Amino acid sequence: MKPLLQFSHANGFPAPCYRAFLAALAKRFDVRYVPQFGHDPKYPVTDGWPHLVSELIAAVEQHGRPAIAVGHSLGGYLSFLAAARRPDLFRAVILLDAPIMSRFQGSALAFAKRVGFIDRVTLAGTTKGRRSTWPSADSALAHFSSKPAFRTFDPRCLTDYVRYGTEPGGHGVVLRFDTEVEYNIYRTIPHDIQRAGRRLGVPGGIIVGTESDLVARLGLRTSGRYLRIASVDGGHLFPFEHPEPAAAAVIAMAKDLVPL
């Protein structure tokens, strides 16, 4: 039986969009995932994401055996918090470009929430009101191909983002991931996530992109207190830029953390 791997996606990127990355992982693991967080009314988006963490925990509970949690960005933080809350459900946790904020950085984020500046210090401001409909899948593909964030995607992954990240609607196609949910997730990011590190009862690691702007801003000093660190080529979205090397890095990290 293959080891169980529970994957959690980044904000705005439904898990099926990671098809190439997950296919590479599936050669070694039994891969499971929640298709998209924040869309089940039983698990609403609230400050600090406690219900999203519960959604992940509920998914793992159904498997009947502990999982290696692997999460990208949002998914990395959810995996970290879930493993801290329920270590009995996890063998290890691996964060993909989800650096842990320091106590000072977390305090600054909490202040930004209180005074209403949160849209300026996260991607919430750029997410709110962004385009979500196109006349066809081809026009959506052309639109994203022109955007800087997507230009470095492996062509397969860009096609998969349109294929699995949109659905029929609005006389064409619409984003599958509700932009209001995406916006609210950014606005409610936990500001005290480093506290979970002190409760983490399973082995942990973090894999970061060598060109990640998020890592450049937050650094890895706090992450290094709780997690083994590795890097791969690419930016914050490296699982879409280099899916097979990213999967190989996850497999290598998992082997370092637990017996496979």
Domain tally, the chain: 2
One domain, residues 234 and 146: no
Give 98's pLDDT tier (boundaries 50, 70, 90).
very high
Q: 235 and 217, same structural domain?
A: yes
Same domain for 218 and 120, yes or no, is: no
Q: Is 218 a domain residue?
A: yes
SS3 114: helix
pLDDT for 30: 98
User: Distance between the two ends of the chain, CA-based, in angstroms?
Assistant: 11
Residues 39, 56, single domain; the answer is yes
Q: Which residues pair with 224 in a beta bridge?
A: none
Single pTM value for the model? 0.97
The two three-digit tokens of residue 72, written as one number: 């990208």
Residue 260 has pLDDT above 90, yes or no: no
Spatial contact of 7 and 33, defined as CB atoms under 8 Å apart: yes
Q: What is the 3-state secondary structure (H, E, C) of 200-238?
A: CCCCEEEEEECCCHHHHHHCCCCHHHHCEEEEECCCCCH
Does residue 106 lie within any of the structural domains?
A: no
Query: Tell me, what's the pLDDT at 183?
Result: 94
- Considering the domain architecture, whether residues 8 and 42 belong to the same structural domain is answered as yes
**CA atoms of 179 and 128, how far apart (whole Å):** 7
Where in the sequence is the domain holding 118, given as residue range(s)?
111-182
Q: What average pLDDT does range 26-48 have in this prediction? A: 97
Q: Which of 58, 97, 59, 92 is nearest to 75 (CA)?
A: 97
Whether pLDDT at 238 is above 90: yes
> What pLDDT score does 119 carry?
84
Same domain, 125 and 177: yes
pLDDT of residue 125 exceeding 80, the answer is no
The answer for 68, left when phi > 0, alpha when psi is -120 to 50, beta otherwise, is beta
* Per-residue pLDDT tens over the stretch 64-93: 999 999 999 999 999 999 999 999 999 999
40 and 71 share a domain?
A: yes
Q: Are residue 65 and residue 134 in the same domain, yes or no?
A: no
Q: Could you say which of 138, 154, 182 is where a domain stops?
A: 182
Q: Are residues 204 and 175 in the same domain?
A: no
Query: Is 124 within a domain?
Result: yes
Tell me which of 182, 213, 229 is where a domain ends.
Answer: 182
CATH of the domain at 62: 3.40.50.1820
pLDDT of res. 6: 98
Written as six digits, the tokens of 48 are: 């600090």
Examine the domain organization and report whether 10 and 95 are in the same domain. Answer: yes
H-helix or E-strand containing 164? helix 155-165
Question: pLDDT of 171-219, one tens digit each?
Answer: 899 999 999 999 999 999 999 999 988 889 999 999 999 999 999 999 9
22 and 146 share one domain? no
* pLDDT reading at 160 higher than 90: yes
Q: How far apart are CA 194 and CA 216, in angstroms?
A: 18
Say yes or no: 94 and 204 in one domain: yes
| pLDDT per residue as tens digits for the range 242-254 | 999 999 999 999 9
Cα–Cα distance between 113 and 110 in angstroms, integer? 5
Q: Which pLDDT score is estimated for 225?
A: 94
Report the share of the chain in percent with pLDDT over 90: 85
Question: How far is Cα 232 from Cα 94, in angstroms, rounded to an integer?
Answer: 14
Q: Which long-range contacts (CB under 8 A, 24 or more apart) does 39-42 make?
A: 39/177, 39/178, 39/181
- Parallel, antiparallel, or unpaired: how do β-strands 166-169 and 90-96 relate? unpaired
| Average model confidence (pLDDT) across the chain | 95
**Domain final position from 182, 201, 226:** 182
